[in-house]
Amino acid sequence: MLHSKHITLSAGGSESSSSKSSFLANQGVIYHVWITFPPGSCGLVKVRLFHEGHPFLPVDADAYVRGDNYTFNYPMFYEITDAPERITIEAWNEDDTYDHTIDVQMLIIQKEWIMPIGAYEGIIAALRSVFRR
């Protein structure tokens, strides 16, 4: 499932006045994340992603992603084990003159669709059942 957020951030923001947008994600794997920064944002728009309150992009709680006229393309393997779980996008705009709009897309797929990891786990499960008899 592809989740997509188009977030407009007002000028003059700060980390303490950050905007938070969230959605509920079903069980699966966050397989890919794209964060698009508009031209002219000059690295003043900052974004970080949380899973149930814990940062996962970037992983440090005090870090963030920033850019200018660029789409960050993050291949991932971040598992969501229960459903539904909350994914939160926190962003703010430190530009004191202009509003900016970012786009965040996240592809979440079933773990079984990913090879060879899904096949590997199936093989291990089958071997365990043979040795338990």
Res 112: pLDDT:
79
What is the spatial distance between Cα 81 and Cα 84, in angstroms, rounded to a whole number? 9
Render each residue's pLDDT in the chain as its tens digit; 133 residues: 999 999 999 999 999 999 999 999 999 999 999 999 999 999 999 999 999 999 999 999 899 999 999 999 999 999 999 889 999 999 999 999 999 999 999 999 988 777 665 566 666 777 777 776 5
Angle value at C-alpha 57, between 111 and 103, nearest 5 degrees: 90
> How is 14-33 classified by DSSP, letter by letter?
-GGG-EEEEEEE-SEEEEEE
Report the Cα–Cα distance between both ends of the chain, in Å, rounded: 39
Residue type, 128: R
For the chain, what is the domain count?
A: 1
Q: Residue 115 is encoded by which pair of tokens?
A: 């090879």
Cα dihedral sign for 113, 115, 116, 117? Answer: negative
CATH number of domain containing 29:
2.60.120.680
User: Residue 59: which domain range?
Assistant: 2-131
> Does the reported pTM lie above 0.85?
no
Compute φ and ψ for 39, nearest 5 degrees. -65, 140
* Pair of tokens at residue 124: 């291990």
